[in-house]
Chain A
């Protein structure tokens, strides 16, 4: 971790070209899938499917285009923390919004 630890040369990983093209094609296919899925009535599942596909796409970009798969542990850890914080912000706020009506029910 300290200065003399990284005595080796660059350890930036050079990602092979086929991987880039593979990811690109996958992303295009997933875009098609998500658009198509939106036209199918899945009830509450629609939002779930759309977000799952978005998470998969974002992960592909992060892991391959942004080389997260090949970097030291620190970077993925920090990204995970940031997304965790975001999730907390959304979840705790929603904990309020969703349950606001629950208490008044007893009052009528």
Chain B
């Protein structure tokens, strides 16, 4: 297997996906067969892609040229450790999601299913192509295919006007982003025909600082639009709830990371004329995004919206790590940059797994109860015990708690921050730990948001939907797999860091220092910092077992079931629990200026608090108004009077003649 070239394997896998999509389209007439056949096969293909990714990490970079639309614009593909790593991410997430889909789309009618199968695989294909693309043109085509297919998936349930609006917002921002990326690439490519050349040709493009910075800003904007960077994040909380759960899982877990991949490929690998302010810019933008995301995640009342804002937060953290890596590299501290980058890459994979898990779980909740509105849920841990358990793991992981995987990347990131005194610039090194505190705040609030997510949905008493059923076999299998992945990555971080070695080597010419053993995580030196999740876990398990055993041994008595006491209050209804917004009430109060709230009357003539997005009101609505105002001005040219139109022609003619006389 290993002798098989990773690129061939990866392209083969993508072609298989394409084939599966098409055959799924054809098989749509037999929905059960199509679902039971295509999705598991798709999982197998995903596994193939993962294997390709693993081989790409160690194999020598490989490339493939195909005749494109024009001779000067070939379709160009490659694999290298960087794309290998992201192929692993994509493949392993797609593996689980496809399994999940096998069961999830049970009730979808044939016509819908055939469309979905085609678009689903098109989406996977698009993401795969983004990773394999080796020139600007191929990359952009793949990028747009990814955007378009995911758009179609978002509007799967297009009868709802909200979903259409979400889809539009999504595609609009994606399109603007793609335009910016295109521009950035062109600035970068400079010479006329470099667009057809491989990315490596861009590697040492000699650009003036101005143009380098322009290229950087444009691509950062473009990829930021995909990654949910602060003012461009607006599509995310709209699109994710609209899409079916497996699609949200893929979009959040994998597609957002494609933006990160793009940043790495372009702004890190290709742009080496680093201006000193790029890193801080990315860092600040990332931090703002993270804090914003988490503050809004905490106040959401819809499970999937909450997760979407949480994705914004996580992308923000990844950008923070990326910015830190840029800062270190600018100052020639490649070893430190490697640590920051490792944190970012680690978190990318973590996020794919736990966010994938959580989205899939929310899909199961939707199927089980018919709603993802948290003010209708509660107490699902009893009706969906297994789903609840997997979701608990996901929640703990995303909240950055040891010994799960979210903590590892957070830890690595903080370690990287603590190395800031090595920077020659003292202001920067003094300010960076402050940013680290910001990261900690974000993570702590993420715990707040996720505890709310889990507590409101799965704990307490049902608020509205009383009947729920456990997820099906396929769904549970998929969630189990992702939970295992979260635990595994939490317990054995060193194994992943070893995988990262070739990636870091490629990016920085230098990996992390070797580890003393697989159970240790000592990225710099054992003196400096160490963390052993295995030991941690074993210690925890031992004390837990011991204390449980001792207490059971000495004081063990069967529990007696009693009614809830609740300080003796006689009346108790589910409505007396915290509502989703009530849980976030302290935040609403403390950060009041940030939240545009309004009271609206609902159908039962009760006042409800509705919290909007300040960016929408502060930025998008004014922009929209400006555009429409301009439009009205332009349309005033068309007053319907022919003499006026003749006058335009006449004046045009006269003016041109006068100018060129």
The judgment on whether A and B are partners is no
**Interface on B for A, CB 8 Å cutoff?**
none
**Interface on A for B, CB 8 Å cutoff?**
none
